[in-house]
Structure 1
Amino acid sequence: MTDDQLSEHADQPSAADLWDARYAESHRIWSGNPNAALVRETSDLAPGRALDLGCGEGADAIWLAKRGWRVTATDVSRIALERAAEHAKEEGVTDLIDWQWHDLGATFPAGTFDLISAHFLHSHGELDRDAILRTAAANVAPGGVLLVVGHCGFPAWETNPHPDVRFPAPDEVLAALELPDGQWEVLRSEEHERIQNDPEGRPTTRTDNTLMVRRLAG
């Protein structure tokens, strides 16, 4: 890398700076409700140890904790983590959630988990999503599941899409995981529609996708 490239890279805001700025725009960004795909796919799972990657303001982690899971929840935004911890206190599940700051491209929570959930792990900044998800898969306990939910594209109201952001299909996510043959089973791989309000509060249809895989216990 040349000196000019090093200088240009140094001038770029970090992922933490980008997301802290995003969360600082308003008192709350998200609805405070758990993601519908998480509820749909995990309601029948027996509680154990869960890891929430990119937990944001904490709604998914709190929902899991209220169902008896012991949750490690991580985000790159300290502002988001502070809000999440306050929300958990209000819901009475503080003791069941360990909030951790991580830039997942550099550090990853220790341990193995019965459920690892990654919802909308997209970023306008640098993010080696495939490598992060491979690390996640390696930390799924035998019999545990990895749930990856992503967008299929930008929302209809986005007038300036970011060309550096890709939205892979479920089969692309599965291929990128490089799971060993005979050690995993695919539980879900599909696209699905949901209703999301645009910035003006008008309901619009958005397409997301879900990949859910289980590490075989044997």
Structure 2
Amino acid sequence: MTAFDAATEARVSDLVLGDRRHGLPADVTDARFWDEMYDSREQIFSGNPNPVLVTEISGLTPGRALDVGCGEGADAVWLAGQGWQVTGVDIARTAIDRAARRDSRVTWVHADWTVTPPHAEAFDLVTVHFVPIPRRHARNLIDAVAPGGTLLVTGHDLSDLPAGHIPGFDPADYVEPAALAEQLGDGWTVLVDEKRRRAPDATPHTHDRVLRATRDPI
């Protein structure tokens, strides 16, 4: 999933506030939340792959890749173009339907990865960009990486956000890339764990957090 533009961020905030007005919990891992967001516009994202993905993955030997929270499919399509065998998974049916119309080389899966975890040690690359990772389910992503494989996670640096930026969203419920690195344990090598300045855009974000780690081969 690529970063939100200003209009999309406003739409996300509207959806959360709407839930709160009706006494419902604001849950950014809920399918209804994302379906409403994608249904609000014909296209949410630019259609370009995340720059971090291109920078960090270019040059790796292609294998089996899992794009978690693939959205409208830009990252998965780019990976397929590099020779990867890609599975893109997203909780939003509208997003998956749009992605499937873009490229038939990718295996598109409509599913909630927190409910149906990916198979353990099944992927040479697990990539997650700007997708909320619930703390209690973070291990699902780590375990999906095969020996010798790569985990790449990008998220907004939360210090950029003013308090209450998205009402109802509690960062403590989710794992940032740096915290995910601490969960890897033995058998992993962390290659990148840093705060990285992002290209100027219309959002309030100025920095991202990037984690790239490899699992030791057997």
Which TM-score bucket, shorter chain as reference? 0.7 to 0.9
Cα distance per residue 1:103-151 (max 9 Å; x no partner): 12211233600000011112xxxxx623433111111111001111111
Quick check: which one's strand share is greater?
1
**Residue 61 of structure 2 aligns with which residue?**
46
In 2, distance between residues paired with 1:15 and 1:147? Answer: 23
Q: Within 5 Å, give how 1:1-218 maps onto structure 2.
A: 15-88=30-103, 94=104, 96-110=105-119, 112-122=122-132, 129-153=134-158, 160-166=165-171, 169-175=176-182, 177=183, 179-181=184-186, 183-198=187-202, 206-218=206-218
Structure 1 or 2, whichever has the larger Rg, is 1
Q: Tell whether the 8 Å contact from 1:186 to 1:213 is kept in structure 2 after alignment.
A: yes
Give the 3-state SS of the residue equivalent to 2:208 in structure 1.
Answer: strand
- Check 1:184–1:64 CA distance in 2 against 1; reply closer, same or farther (3 A cut): same
| TM-score, structure 2 normalization | 0.78
User: Contact between 1:121 and 1:129, CA under 8 Å: does it hold in 2?
Assistant: no
Alpha-carbon offset, residue 9 of structure 1 = 7.2
What is the one-letter code of the residue matched to 1:185? T
Give the share of equivalent positions with the same residue, in percent: 38
In angstroms, what is the RMSD of aligned CA positions?
Answer: 2.8
Q: How many residues align?
A: 193
Q: Which runs of 5+ in 1 are unaligned?
A: 1-7, 89-93, 123-127
TM-score (normalizing by structure 1) = 0.78
Higher relative contact order (CA 8 A, sep 6+): 2
Q: Distance in 1 between matches of 2:169 and 2:205?
A: 24
